[in-house]
């Protein structure tokens, strides 16, 4: 019966796709900063208000198991954004992606060579030369990782106007009087309303710096959520139970340890305020797309660069391998995409580039390493990956399997730690099964699987060696 049901379902998806088997001529990618998968109404969060993203999800395909592969230092957003644009895996990004070599042929570069206008506004956390190769035009550009309070924070972001020469001299830098998310949305709206966007195919990349801290939501969004009514997450802890390798990274020092429940609730309230404000700007961009008559010809992709703990497991940042930090929201809507459907197959953010290439009928460059999930767009019951591997630093690795088990390994200053979670019964990762002898064979099998996935993703760390992790404390930068 299961086989018959699968065949019927596959035929149904094939029929649905054939009824709207059109391809967009325009691509818009909206990328959030530190937006965890659970901070979205469409993902079942009844507290956070995200009406525009929920509407976008209802018009397209919501991916419930999209992941950032990880990073080797605190600023996970650096490799995340490079993986998005290049389709590369994290372990072969020089300097975690601070400089993108010319040999990594990016999605916007290829589309630019095909005659598309390539537009960017918002965050850019890599080198200027690669940005110059990728984008033919743009709006306000933020060169850096986060808007620090000393420069006015999110309220007065320090930005440059797009520089066609690619030089961006310090003299051209200015502090905007417009809140960061609003500023970048204004830029995108101006572009989408232009004759250029209406007359010529485009690739539009809107890279928000929200809901990253400093969490200073403007206007009514600051008071939208009452900390007193915010519930603590089920996996809230006053402190992490052991040294995970990066307990003193910048993100983890935003609140004192042990974590105070009241202070954590306030932080969650402000985080949700930032998410809701960003959601409002996404709504404005979608309205502009509709007004310009471009919606029917545009593939819209919304995703987050990495997740965030915000009190879960006693942590605040993304410098860990728990679900809250490696899983991100992803929505795809547009011509040929099924409507109001969720897909649970495993994907990485790096899979977006090869998927867009296949969607547009363009051969992906040889430098692309990730997998296209174009088949999932046609049939959301399909999956392109059976396992998900993640990396953080030189001291932690994880593997997750389709049947819902997840193992995390640590080697911090010679102290080996294993965690095993049954995510189907314990989605908040509160019950570590690694000490239960009944799971010893499971752990052995998952170690073997992890080594296999590490090989596929060019991870040369040997977890069979007793000193495979770092042997002395190192500080990581987090932004």
Is the pLDDT assigned to residue 1 strictly greater than 50? no
- State the average pLDDT over residues 103-107: 98
* CATH-assigned architecture of domain 2-385: 3-Layer(aba) Sandwich (3.40)
Q: Are strands 61-67 and 347-348 parallel, antiparallel or unpaired?
A: parallel
Q: In this model, does residue 12 exceed pLDDT 90? A: no
Instruction: For the chain, give the percent of residues with pLDDT over 90.
Output: 90
pLDDT at residue 248, as a whole number: 94
Q: Does the pLDDT of residue 16 top 90, yes or no?
A: no
- Give Cα 269 to chain centroid, integer Å: 21
Average pLDDT rounded to a whole number, residues 148-153 = 83
- Tell me the domain boundaries of the chain: 2-385, 390-456
Parallel, antiparallel, or unpaired: how do β-strands 387-392 and 202-207 relate?
Answer: unpaired
149: pLDDT strictly greater than 90: no
Task: Tell me the per-residue pLDDT of 234-249, one tens digit each, with 9 for 90 and over.
Answer: 999 999 999 999 999 9
How remote is the C-alpha of 298 from its chain's centroid? 21
| Proportion of the chain above pLDDT 70, given as a percent | 94
Contact 370, 387 (CB under 8 A): no
Distance separating alpha carbons of residues 28 and 430, to the nearest angstrom: 38
Is the pLDDT score of 17 beyond 70?
A: no
CA dist list (Å): 102 to 89, 110, 130, 134: 16, 12, 7, 10
Residue 336 makes CB contacts below 8 A (sequence gap 6+) with 17, 20, 21, 22, 23, 24, 359, 377, 378
Rounded (5°) CA angle 404-331-328: 50
Cα–Cα separations (whole angstroms), residue 451 to 433, 447, 465? 21, 6, 12
Rounded to whole angstroms, what are the CA distances from 406 to 392, 426, 432, 457? 15, 11, 10, 18
pTM value surpassing 0.85: yes
20-73 pLDDT, tens digit per residue, is 467 889 999 999 999 999 999 999 999 999 999 999 999 999 999 999 999 999
Q: Taking residues 186-213, what's their average pLDDT?
A: 98
Across the strands, what pairs with 299? Answer: 27
CA 235 to chain centre: 22
Q: What is the C-alpha separation between 454 and 448, in angstroms, rounded?
A: 10
Q: Which CATH number fits domain 390-456: 3.30.1120, 1.10.3470, 3.30.930, 1.20.58?
A: 3.30.1120
The end-to-end CA distance of the chain, in Å, is: 51
Residue 11 has pLDDT above 50, yes or no: no
- Alpha carbon 464 to chain centroid, angstroms: 30
Stretch 305-322: mean pLDDT: 98
Question: Does 394 score more than 90 pLDDT?
Answer: yes
pLDDT for 467 equals 83
- Three-class secondary structure assignment of the chain: CHHHHHHHHHHHHHHHHHHCCCCCCEEEEEEECCCCCCCCHHHCCCCCCCHHHHHHHHCCEEEEEEECCEECCCCCHHHHHHHHHHCCCHHHCHHHHCCCCCCCCCHHHHHHHCCCEEEEEEEECCCHHHHHHHCCEEEEEEECCCCCHHHCCCCCCEEEECCCCCCCCHHHCEECCCCHHHHHHHHHHHHHCCHHHHHCCEEEEEECCCCCCCCCCCHHHHHCCCHHHCCCCCCECCCCCCCCCCCCCHHHHCCCCCCCHHHHHHHHHHHHHHHHHHHHHHHHHHHHHHHCCCHHHEEEEEEECCCCCCCECCCCCCCCCCHHHHEEEEEEECCCCCCCEEECCCEEHHHHHHHHHHHHCCCCCCCCCCCCCHHHHHCCCCCCCCEEEEEECCCEEEEEECCCEEEEEEEECCEEEEEEEECCCCCCCCCCCCCCHHHHHHHHHHHHHHHHHHHHCCCCCCCCCCCCCECCCCCCCCC
What is the overall mean pLDDT for the chain?
93
pLDDT tens per residue across span 264-273: 999 999 999 9
Provide the pLDDT for residue 21: 60
Task: Return the closest-CA partner of residue 423 out of 402, 446, 447, 449.
Answer: 402
Residue 79 near residue 457, CB atoms below 8 Å: no
In which band, very low, low, confident or very high, does the pLDDT at 470 lie, cut at 50, 70 and 90?
low
């Amino acid at each position: 019966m299961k086989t018959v049901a699968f065949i019927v379902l596959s035929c149904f998806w094939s029929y649905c796709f054939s009824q709207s088997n059109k391809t967009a001529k325009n691509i818009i990618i909206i990328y959030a900063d530190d937006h965890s998968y659970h901070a979205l109404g469409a993902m079942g969060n009844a507290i956070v208000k995200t009406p525009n993203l929920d509407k976008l999800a209802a018009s397209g395909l919501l991916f419930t198991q999209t992941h950032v592969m990880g990073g080797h230092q605190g600023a996970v957003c650096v490799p995340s954004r490079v993986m998005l644009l290049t389709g590369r895996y994290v372990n072969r990004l020089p300097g975690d992606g601070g400089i993108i070599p010319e040999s990594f042929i990016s999605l916007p570069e290829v589309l630019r060579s095909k005659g598309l206008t390539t537009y960017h506004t918002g965050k850019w956390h890599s080198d200027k030369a690669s940005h110059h190769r990728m984008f033919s035009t743009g709006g306000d550009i933020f060169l850096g990782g986060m808007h620090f309070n000393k420069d006015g924070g999110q309220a007065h972001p320090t930005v440059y106007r797009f520089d066609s020469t690619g030089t961006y001299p310090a003299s051209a830098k200015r502090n905007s009087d417009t809140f960061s998310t609003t500023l970048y949305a204004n830029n995108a709206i101006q572009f989408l309303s232009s004759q250029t966007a209406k007359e010529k195919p485009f690739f539009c990349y809107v890279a928000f710096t929200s809901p990253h801290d400093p969490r200073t939501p403007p206007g009514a969004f600051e008071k939208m959520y009452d900390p007193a009514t915010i519930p603590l997450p089920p996996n809230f802890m006053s402190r992490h139970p052991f040294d995970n390798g990066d307990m003193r990274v910048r993100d983890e020092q935003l609140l004192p340890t042990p974590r105070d429940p009241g202070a954590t609730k306030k932080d969650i309230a402000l985080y949700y305020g930032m998410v809701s404000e960003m959601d409002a700007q996404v709504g404005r961009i979608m309205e502009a797309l509709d007004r310009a008559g471009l919606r029917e010809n545009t593939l819209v992709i919304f995703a987050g660069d990495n997740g965030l703990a915000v009190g879960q497991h006693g942590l605040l940042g993304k410098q860990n391998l728990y679900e809250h930090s490696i899983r991100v929201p992803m929505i795809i809507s547009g011509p040929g995409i099924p409507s109001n459907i969720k897909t649970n197959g495993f994907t990485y953010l790096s899979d977006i580039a090869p998927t867009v290439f296949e969607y547009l009928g363009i051969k992906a460059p040889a430098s692309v390493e990730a997998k296209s999930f174009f088949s999932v767009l046609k049939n959301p019951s399909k999956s392109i990956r059976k396992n998900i591997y993640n990396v953080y630093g030189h001291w932690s690795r994880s593997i997750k399997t389709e049947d819902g088990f997840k193992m995390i390994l640590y080697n911090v200053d010679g102290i080996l730690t294993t965690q095993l979670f049954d995510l189907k019964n314990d989605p908040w990762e509160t019950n570590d099964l690694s000490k239960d002898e009944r799971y010893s064979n499971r752990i052995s099998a998952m170690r073997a699987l992890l080594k296999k996935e590490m090989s596929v993703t060019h991870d040369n760390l040997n977890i069979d060696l007793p000193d495979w992790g770092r042997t002395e404390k190192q500080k990581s930068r987090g932004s």
